[in-house]
Amino acid sequence: MALRLSLENVHYSYPLPGREDAPALTGADLAVEPGEVLCVAGSNGSGKSTLAQVCAGLLLPDSGEVLYGDAPVEGRAGLREFRSKVSLLFQSSEDQLFADTVAKDIAFGPKNHGLRGGELEEAVRRACALVGLSLEELGSRSPFSLSGGEKRRAALAGVLAMDPEVLVLDEPFIGLDHTGRELLKSTLERYREERGASVVIVTHELSDAWGLAERFALLSGGRLLKVEDKSDLLSGEVELSSLGMKLPQWGELVRELLGSGIAVTDPSDPRMIAGAMASFREARGE
């Protein structure tokens, strides 16, 4: 079961030789609650990828703190321990496969974590099953011979094989079609349930995480502005367009309906929305 992962007042700048550093995070505060799906959303250049890498212990804050289970992540041993619990699926993960075979590629992470022999095989097998990739069929093939969608799944399997308590994914939906997105969503949902893991989805597109995330952290200019649940986003308190984002069409519809006094509990269930609309019309007709 995952512990609470939090960032407190994290600053991070990229050093630029001969120039002033480029600040990417300017006081980011974030808490990922155990076992939740949290969506971190922001426009291009808002600091999303940097935040994802800080969450996974790959970039160390210039100042501020990363805590796991209320203990600050400190020192070499502490960092190693933290990295064994949190894993990141990089953006464009399909371009980051490198081993001779798919099976070796997926085994790379858990092997680095010290797994060997039967344990390692089992980790790879379990990860392949989770992402729906046939190890028998594809395991001995070169990762470069896979289709785009298969490469993505192999990359995710490589991350899941490390059995992380917190899984961070940077723009995992870009370029996936409807089937691919649904498959990814169900994989994440299942992993979270079986493992008790927390899942952080970093994206520029709210619709990607709409049916999956409970809470949405909005990032702008390297700071987290707000963490909201879906109903807060729908009430229109946050001006999403000023953050370079917009509600998915589901959200726009539910917001319009709210304007007519129609409240819908699940803002992505067509049957429920249709039912609420029909009763409203009937009530007007009477």
Partner 1 sequence: MRESAAGCGAGGSSIRVEGLRFSYPGSSTEALRGVDLEFRQGAFHALVGRNGSGKSTLARCMNALLPPSAGRVLSCGIDSASAPDRREIHKRVAMVFQDPDTQMVGSTVEEEVAFGPENLGLEPAEIRRRVDGALDRVGIVHLAGRQPARLSQGQKQLVAIAGALAMEPSFLISDESTSMLDYTSRRKVVELFMELTSAGIGIVHVTHFLEEAALADSVVILDGGAVAGRGAPAEVLSDPVRLRELGLDPLAVTLVAYELRRAGHQVPGDVLDVKELVSWLYA
Q: Tell me which residues touch partner 1 (CB under 8 A).
A: 42-45, 147-149, 171, 174-181, 204-205, 241, 244-246, 248-250, 252-253, 256-257, 260, 268, 270-271, 273-275, 277-278, 280-281, 284
Note whether 201 and 39 are within 8 A (CB): yes
Least spacing, CB of residue 215 vs partner 1, in Å: 20
Shortest CB 210 distance to partner 1, Å: 10
Q: Which is nearer to partner 1, 76 or 284 (CB)?
A: 284
Q: How far is the CB of 123 from partner 1 (least distance, A)?
A: 28
Q: Least distance from C-beta 264 to partner 1, angstroms?
A: 10
* Token pair belonging to 7: 């960032």
Determine how many CB atoms are found less than 10 A away from the CB of residue 75: 9
CA-CA distance, 91 to 174, in Å (whole number)?
Answer: 9
Minimum Å gap between C-beta 68 and partner 1 is 30
Residue 63 identity:
S
Minimum distance of partner 1 from residue 81's CB (angstroms):
34
Number of other CB atoms surrounding residue 148 within 10 Å:
12
16 or 77: whose CB is closer to partner 1?
16
Please say which residue, 175 or 196, places its beta carbon nearer to partner 1: 175
Residue 100 or 252: the one with the smaller Cβ distance to partner 1 is 252
* Residue whose structure tokens are 């723009």: 171
- State residue 13 phi and psi, 5-degree precision: -125, 145
Task: CB nearer to partner 1: give 35 or 180.
Answer: 180
Q: How far apart are the first and last CA of the chain?
A: 53
- Residue number with CB closer to partner 1 (177 or 214): 177
Which H or E element spans position 87?
strand 86-89
Which one, 76 or 271, has the nearer CB to partner 1?
271
Residues 6 or more apart whose Cβ sits within 8 Å of residue 117? none
Considering the complex, what minimum distance in angstroms separates the CB of residue 171 from partner 1? 8
